[in-house]
Amino acid sequence: MRIKLIAFDSMGVRSMATFVETSEGTFLIDPGAALAPRRYGLPPHEEELKVLREKLNAIYDYVKESDYLIISHYHRDHYPYRFGEEEYYAGKNLFIKHPQAFINPSQRIRAYVLLEKMNVKTRAKSIVYADSASIKIGRVSLEFSPPLSHGQCGTGLGWVLATSVIEDGLTLIHASDIQGCLCQDSLNHLMSKKPDFLIMSGPPTYLGEAQEGFTNLEKLLKNIVHNTVLILDHHLLRDLYYRRYFEKLEKLNMKVKITTAAEFMGEEVRLLEANRKNLWESLNRE
C-alpha cells in the first residue's frame, strides 16, 4: 500500500485529499479543495487562490489515475462540486456518503445537485452508498464507518464517514472531519480499530471548540499499542499555534508519530488561511 497526501490545510488549502495505491486498484479519498470565504473578516488572498489552483490541478491529475473515488460527506472542501468538474466522475466507481440518510439540509441539497443536476449518477461507472459498508476487492478490504458526527455530537453540520483501507495486514484509516473525536461515537469507532496509518482532522481550536476533542484524542493515543503514524491536520492547522498541541500529545505515547500532511510529504508547512491577516497586511504595506 502506498499513500500520497495531495492537499491539506498544512499545504495551504482546506482539504484532506488522499491517494491510496493498492495491488487491487487506486483510491482517491475526498478529492476536493476549497478556501474559507472569510477569515478575520477578509476574503482569500491571491497567494491562497494561487495555491488552490495548484492543488486542484494536482487533485484532477490523481482523479484521472484513480479507479475508485470516495466521498466522506458533501462539504465543498471534500469533493469536486464546481460545474465542469462533473467530468472527473465519468467512468469512476464511487463510494459516497448516503445522499438522503443521516444528512443535514445543506448537504442533502449539494448531494442532489451533484448526482442529479450534474448528472454524476449517470456519468459514474458505479455508485455505492457506503454508510456502514464492508466491501472486499480482491486482497483489499474497505470498511466504512456508520455516520459519525461532523464534530460535536448532534452538531448541525451533519455526519461524515471514516474509511478504512486494509491490505496485507496493514490498515489505513481516513477519519474525515471528526475534529479530534469531539463526539464519543467517533472515539469509539477509532478505538475499535488498530490503524497503522491514521489520518484525521484535529480539533477546531480556531473556533474555540477543542477541549473535549483533545480529551478524547488523549484517550485514543493511550489506547494505541503498536507503532502508528498519525496525520493530524485540517481544522487544527487553521490555528497559528497548532504546534503547542502537538507537543503535548507527542508525550502521551512514544509509539505514535504525530505529524502534519505537509511534513509527512517532505514539504514546508504553509498556514495560509491562519496567516490571511498577515498576507493582506503585507500587501497593504507594499
| pLDDT computed for residue 286 by the predictor | 59
From the first residue on, what is the mean pLDDT of each consecutive set of 10 residues in the chain (286 residues)? 98 99 99 98 98 99 98 98 96 98 98 98 98 98 98 93 97 96 93 94 86 86 89 97 93 93 98 97 73
Alpha-carbon Rg for the chain, nearest whole angstrom, is 18
Q: What domains lie within the chain, and their CATH numbers?
A: 2-285 (3.60.15.10)
Q: Where are the beta strands (DSSP E) in 11-133?
A: 16-22, 25-29, 68-71, 93-96, 126-129
Alpha-carbon distance of 284 to 118, in angstroms, equals: 40
Nearest CA among 225, 222, 219, 217 for reference residue 200: 217
CB of 204 closer than 8 Å to CB of 221: no
Residue-level pLDDT at 238? 97
Three cell numbers at 241? 499555534
Given a contact cutoff of 8 angstroms between Cβ atoms, the answer to whether 228 and 198 are in contact is yes
Q: Is 262 helix (H, G, I), strand (E, B) or coil?
A: helix
The pTM score is 0.96
Q: Between β-strands 93-96 and 68-71, what pairing exists: parallel, antiparallel or unpaired? A: parallel
Residue 285: the pLDDT is 66
From the list 224, 227, 245, 225, the residue with the least C-alpha distance to 236 is 245
For 223, the 3-state DSSP assignment is: helix
- Beta-ladder partners of 127: 94
Identify the helix (H) or strand (E) that includes residue 100.
none
Name residues whose C-beta falls within 8 Å of residue 230's C-beta, 6 or more positions apart in sequence. Answer: 198, 200, 221, 256, 257, 258, 259
- Residue 200 main-chain phi, psi, to 5 deg: -150, 155
Cell numbers describing residue 26: 487506486
The C-alpha cell of 248 is what? 503535548
* H-only helix segments in 133-210: 184-191
Secondary structure in 3-state letters for 42-60: ECCCHHHHHHHHHHHHHHH
For residue 267, the Cα-to-chain-centroid distance in whole angstroms is 18
Q: Which amino acid is at 70?
A: I
What pLDDT was estimated at residue 284?
Answer: 67
Q: Please enumerate in sequence order all residues whose Cβ is within 8 A of that of 201, keeping only pairs 6 or more positions apart, or say none.
A: 16, 175, 176, 177, 178, 179, 180, 233, 234, 235, 236
